[in-house]
Chain A
Amino acid sequence: MSSSNQHLENVSRRRFLKTAGIVSGGLILGTTLPSVAPLWADESSSNELNLFVSIRVDGQVDIICHRSEMGQGIRTGIPQVIAEELCADWDRVNVVQGLADEAYGSQNTDGSRSIRRNYQRMREMGAAARTMLEQAAAKEWGVKPSQVYAENNFVKLRGSTRQLGFGELVKSAMTMTPPTTETLTFKSPKDFKLIGKPITSVDIHKVVGGTTEFGQDVRLPDMLYASIERTPVVGGTVESFDEKAAASVNGVVKVFNMPARPLPALFNPKAGVAVIASNTWAALQGRKQLNVKWNTGNNGAHNSEAYLDDLTSKITTKGKVIRKSGDAYLMAGRAAEKVSATYTMPYLVHAPMEPPAATAVFKDGKCEVWACTQTPQSAQQNVAGALEIDKENVTVHVTLLGGAFGRKSKPDYVVEAALLARETGKPVKVVWSREDDIQHGYYHAVSAQHFEAGLNSDNRVQSWIQRTAFPSISWTFDTRVDEPQGGELSLGFGDMPFDVGALSMESHKAPGHIRIGWIRSVSNIHHGFALGSFVDEIAVKAGKKPHAMWLELLANDRFVDPATEGFEYGNYGDPKEVFPIDTKRLKNVLNIVVEKSGADKSTAPNEAWGISVHRSFVSYVAVATKVSVVDGKVSILEMHSAIDAGTVVNPDRVRAQQEGSMIFGLSIALLGEISVKDGAVEQSNFHDYQVLRMPQTPKIETYIVESDAPPGGVGEPGVPPVAASVANAIYHASGQRIRDLPISKHLRVS
């Protein structure tokens, strides 16, 4: 691919040193941050071979991770790939967190694409640096490069005991011309020492010692702390507030009316009033005295219950056709049996354990920011825009992220810190409370789905109608958008992989009223729940075992191409030639979980298994869940998941993501609900926005399909099949079909 050549050509030493200098920008501003900037404390001593690889004369290998670490293990995974091809000694690898810098390419750590989009590129970075080290050794020994090879931080001479360490070679290697992509050689997977191995996370020792630095933990000399009371209604503005009362609280330094921006919401801070103090507690106390009166605007009329009733009603009528084959309505009329069902899900919020936080300094027209952000470049651009300065004058340090799940892709909180830093002339940390996080999120859309299947006299599906309605993420960026967009319909809806005869896929209008955003697996959450539940409902009607029903619908091994039926399928931005919708892989993961779990075997009374399988982020995941339902109380007993994500870099982290996805999915299925009244979110903290706790967590088993296919996504694909597997299990255990989440509205959850 031509892009890879560009990557290497972009590897300009001058550019990199400039970047490295900015890393210690804390020093420029007269501040130090021990755990953020130890990385290049003496950058001149690390010798850069390319944008991602530098080596010190003592042999320490400094590898840039340009993606954000939020628990998925990317600060281990990316260096694993580079170090593999570099032939570095893993014990000599030091991971350096990259600043916001477009030289790295996209740093948007979302969409389950850090490995998917960087695997080959990172191999190239490692291989290119290794080649330069080999060339340096060959020159030193006066031999051809083919006579030397790199191994474990040394370059060795074939047929000899002579060797030189990477540290000894690096100064000379820096003078070598970087190789072109075409000339690079790569390791054979059978020789991998790091890729495919369960390497321990590079940050684990700091985590268990409590010395990591998250966004909430940043400390700068003379730093002030801010807490902001924000409009409960999107588009609302401040009418009045009691500045004097807030300012009189001990420790409060300043009260500041945040600038209000008109809709669309974008990543702008919401209108509100900031209380800036000498510590967090004082800021929170001052905020309680503000007594803000709001102008609520149009969205103050939004009530989620009535809104969902409206979606549920319109979803039973024909909508806008987005994919079609034959005449589903005609065939439905001829069906021997019909199955139909409507499914709904409420709004959801991310609730990462670390509420958003950002710290900024503004000095001499430049802004420096430390933030737990998934999107450092977007943070940089938005800060620059809000301060009306060039983005070159905004430095963004990425701290560790205490969970994110999509919330920290939206840098509204980073902009808040920047505005307050400019206002005060001092470093300011904006601390979001849990209430702020729950009530001022970018929410997963409330939704309704409707399915109708017609069965022929042999109990085989001959017609299929499916509809979806939910407010679009795009509304957040353009309030004229009033229906699901193609990108969202590509997430588990328009890519439905079944062989069903005549079909009609439709969407309905649904205007936005609160900030809609992406949460771990996005629209796959509701589409996966509805589709996975509906298959089970057809199985019941047709008198078939769910496993057999899934296999029948998935039909023969083939690649499904929604374009042939008129749907322009996004495929997660990846080419369908490389990442087709492969029914064989869907069936394979399903067969694995059924076999391993014993989900097709009989169970004790009041207990049952439910299954589901879903492709998302070009990976394939099946889930089998066992529940018991007794006296109106559901317990999750056991979960098994199988993932086919193609080539896997770190199987232990993939396993961890699957475990986490099961638990995240259970929170959604069992407990998750955000409701909105008069435009304002009603929930506020973990007592009324509940998430799964340890006693509710079942035994979890994970199976990873061994594959040499190109890497697929891992962080998100585990979530979509969970809710359907649980609802299906509940049906088979109790006869109660739950179509409206969360399950806690229907059953007690233990």
Chain B
Amino acid sequence: MISFTLNDKPVSLDADPQMPLLWAIRDMLGLTGTKFGCGIAQCGACTVHMDGQPIRSCVMPLSAAADKKITTIEGISEDNSHPIQKAWVEHNVPQCGYCQSGQIMSAVALLESNKSPSDKAIDDYMQGNICRCGTYPRIKAAIKSAAGNFDLAKNVGGDA
């Protein structure tokens, strides 16, 4: 039995400890906001926070989540009120939307670590998140506009 905190709620799973956290979250715990994109940490669609740090859940064994605090897209706000989510709406960022959970989780982590990132810093931090529709310019713009409002976001999500 592996226990951890998922979006501030305690959960326990009886599952293969080698199962990637992604499949535990999606198939066993029923939260499908975290997406499967590649399975080898190449695309970032599965990004969640573990104790506040962004991780690729598709390669993180469930055993590594034991006693940790996991935050998924569903957990960063109750009502899409996180500044990153608001900026995403303001800039009409998504096209298909599939990669956006991972993009948002990476962007939240970026702003947690750097309140006013430069273009270069955004590029460097976000390069692990692929968007095939090509929303990168809007993601960058949204991150910049959220950066201005980010103090409001403190402690909203995960272990900020």
B104 touches A694 (CB 8 A): no
Tell me the complex Cα distance, A720–B24, Å: 42
Chain A positions 396-447 with a Cβ under 8 Å from a chain B Cβ: 400-405, 431, 433-435
Question: Which stretch from A87-95, A323-331, A661-669 is at the chain B interface?
Answer: A661-669
A214 touches B43 (CB 8 A): no
Residues of B within 8 A of A685 (CB): 38-40, 42
Partner of B100, one of A208, A285, A656: A208
B33 touches A656 (CB 8 A): no
Q: How far is the CB of B112 from chain A (nearest CB, A)?
A: 17
Residue in A closest to B42 when the chains form the complex, CB atoms: A686
Chain B positions 70-127 with a Cβ under 8 Å from a chain A Cβ: 72-74, 77, 80, 85, 88-89, 92, 94-101, 104, 122-124, 126-127
B32 touches A217 (CB 8 A): yes
Tell me the complex Cα distance, A702–B58, Å: 36
- Is B150 part of the binding interface, using a Cβ–Cβ cutoff of 8 Å? no
A204 touches B92 (CB 8 A): yes
- Is A18 part of the binding interface, using a Cβ–Cβ cutoff of 8 Å? no
Chain B positions 43-76 with a Cβ under 8 Å from a chain A Cβ: 43, 45, 72-74
A219 touches B30 (CB 8 A): yes
Tell me the complex Cα distance, A205–B79, Å: 9
A699 touches B137 (CB 8 A): yes
Given A217-B32, A354-B35, the answer on whether A687 and B16 have CB atoms closer than 8 Å is no
Tell me the complex Cα distance, A198–B92, Å: 10
Taken residue by residue from 623 to 665, chain A's Cβ proximity to chain B (1 for < 8 Å, 0 otherwise) reads as: 0000000000000000000000000000010001101111110
Residues of B within 8 A of A433 (CB): 39
A401 touches B96 (CB 8 A): yes
- Is A605 part of the binding interface, using a Cβ–Cβ cutoff of 8 Å? no
Residue in A closest to B73 when the chains form the complex, CB atoms: A210
Tell me the complex Cα distance, A222–B147, Å: 44
B96 touches A210 (CB 8 A): no
Residue from the set B15, B20, B131 with the largest chain A CB neighbour count within 10 Å: B131
A694 touches B127 (CB 8 A): yes
A351 touches B132 (CB 8 A): yes
- Is B11 part of the binding interface, using a Cβ–Cβ cutoff of 8 Å? no
B27 touches A280 (CB 8 A): yes
Tell me the complex Cα distance, A355–B97, Å: 14
B38 touches A434 (CB 8 A): yes
Tell me the complex Cα distance, A352–B99, Å: 10
Residues of B within 8 A of A73 (CB): 95
Given A209-B85, A280-B26, A353-B132, the answer on whether A700 and B137 have CB atoms closer than 8 Å is yes
B96 touches A354 (CB 8 A): yes
A664 touches B27 (CB 8 A): no
Chain B positions 121-154 with a Cβ under 8 Å from a chain A Cβ: 122-124, 126-127, 129-140
Partner of B98, one of A214, A282, A431, A695: A214
- Is B4 part of the binding interface, using a Cβ–Cβ cutoff of 8 Å? no
Q: How far is the CB of A281 from chain B (nearest CB, A)?
A: 4
A691 touches B40 (CB 8 A): no
Residues of A within 8 A of B124 (CB): 695
Partner of A207, one of B23, B45, B100: B100
B134 touches A281 (CB 8 A): no
Residues of A within 8 A of B126 (CB): 694
Q: How far is the CB of B140 from chain A (nearest CB, A)?
A: 7
Residues of B within 8 A of A216 (CB): 32, 35-36
Residues of B within 8 A of A251 (CB): 16
B127 touches A204 (CB 8 A): no
Q: How far is the CB of A542 from chain B (nearest CB, A)?
A: 35
Tell me the complex Cα distance, A695–B96, Å: 21
Residues of B within 8 A of A694 (CB): 122-123, 126-127, 129, 136, 139-140
Residue in B closest to A212 when the chains form the complex, CB atoms: B97
Given A214-B98, A431-B36, the answer on whether A691 and B132 have CB atoms closer than 8 Å is yes
A692 touches B134 (CB 8 A): yes
A403 touches B98 (CB 8 A): yes
B33 touches A210 (CB 8 A): yes
Residue in B closest to A214 when the chains form the complex, CB atoms: B98
Given A352-B132, A659-B137, the answer on whether A281 and B35 have CB atoms closer than 8 Å is no
Partner of B92, one of A69, A431, A652, A661: A652
Residue from the set B34, B129, B135 with the largest chain A CB neighbour count within 10 Å: B135
Tell me the complex Cα distance, A280–B57, Å: 14
Q: How far is the CB of A625 from chain B (nearest CB, A)?
A: 15
- Is A601 part of the binding interface, using a Cβ–Cβ cutoff of 8 Å? no
Tell me the complex Cα distance, A682–B96, Å: 28
Chain B positions 5-37 with a Cβ under 8 Å from a chain A Cβ: 15-16, 19-20, 23, 26-28, 30-37
Tell me the complex Cα distance, A355–B36, Å: 8
- Is A503 part of the binding interface, using a Cβ–Cβ cutoff of 8 Å? no
Residue in A closest to B134 when the chains form the complex, CB atoms: A663
A659 touches B98 (CB 8 A): no
A660 touches B135 (CB 8 A): yes
Tell me the complex Cα distance, A71–B132, Å: 10
Residue in A closest to B34 when the chains form the complex, CB atoms: A210
Residues of A within 8 A of B134 (CB): 659-664, 692, 697
Residue in A closest to B101 when the chains form the complex, CB atoms: A210
A693 touches B130 (CB 8 A): yes
Tell me the complex Cα distance, A550–B131, Å: 33
Tell me the complex Cα distance, A282–B27, Å: 11
A663 touches B136 (CB 8 A): yes
B23 touches A353 (CB 8 A): no
Q: How far is the CB of B15 from chain A (nearest CB, A)?
A: 8
Residue from the set A201, A661, A686 with the largest chain B CB neighbour count within 10 Å: A686
Taken residue by residue from 333 to 357, chain A's Cβ proximity to chain B (1 for < 8 Å, 0 otherwise) reads as: 0000000000000000001111100
Partner of B95, one of A217, A656, A692: A656
- Is A716 part of the binding interface, using a Cβ–Cβ cutoff of 8 Å? no
B132 touches A664 (CB 8 A): yes
Given A209-B80, A282-B16, A353-B99, the answer on whether A434 and B37 have CB atoms closer than 8 Å is yes
Tell me the complex Cα distance, A15–B61, Å: 50
Q: How far is the CB of B62 from chain A (nearest CB, A)?
A: 9
Tell me the complex Cα distance, A213–B31, Å: 11
Given A281-B20, A659-B134, A660-B135, the answer on whether A695 and B123 have CB atoms closer than 8 Å is yes
Partner of A686, one of B43, B74, B92: B43
Tell me the complex Cα distance, A203–B74, Å: 16
Tell me the complex Cα distance, A353–B58, Å: 14
Tell me the complex Cα distance, A282–B20, Å: 11
Tell me the complex Cα distance, A431–B123, Å: 31
- Is A313 part of the binding interface, using a Cβ–Cβ cutoff of 8 Å? no
Residue from the set B28, B72, B92, B126 with the largest chain A CB neighbour count within 10 Å: B92
Q: How far is the CB of A227 from chain B (nearest CB, A)?
A: 11
Q: How far is the CB of B88 from chain A (nearest CB, A)?
A: 5
Given A71-B95, A354-B98, A695-B127, the answer on whether A403 and B132 have CB atoms closer than 8 Å is yes
Given A281-B23, A662-B134, A693-B130, the answer on whether A200 and B97 have CB atoms closer than 8 Å is no
B73 touches A72 (CB 8 A): no
Tell me the complex Cα distance, A741–B114, Å: 39
Residues of B within 8 A of A206 (CB): 97
Tell me the complex Cα distance, A250–B129, Å: 32
- Is A475 part of the binding interface, using a Cβ–Cβ cutoff of 8 Å? no
Taken residue by residue from 169 to 208, chain A's Cβ proximity to chain B (1 for < 8 Å, 0 otherwise) reads as: 0000000000000000000000000000010110111111
Taken residue by residue from 277 to 307, chain A's Cβ proximity to chain B (1 for < 8 Å, 0 otherwise) reads as: 0011110010000000000000000000000
23 residue pairs of the A-B complex, CB under 8 angstroms, read A71-B133, A73-B95, A198-B92, A201-B92, A201-B94, A208-B85, A208-B88, A210-B32, A210-B33, A210-B74, A219-B32, A279-B23, A279-B28, A281-B19, A353-B37, A659-B138, A660-B135, A661-B134, A662-B134, A685-B38, A685-B39, A694-B123, A694-B140
10 closest Cβ pairs, A-B complex: A210-B33, A402-B98, A663-B134, A71-B96, A210-B73, A71-B95, A660-B134, A207-B97, A217-B32, A695-B123
Q: A204-B89, A219-B30, A281-B16 are in contact. List 16 more A-B contacts (CB 8 A).
A: A200-B92, A203-B97, A207-B97, A208-B85, A209-B73, A214-B98, A281-B23, A285-B16, A354-B96, A403-B95, A434-B37, A434-B40, A659-B135, A664-B132, A694-B139, A697-B136
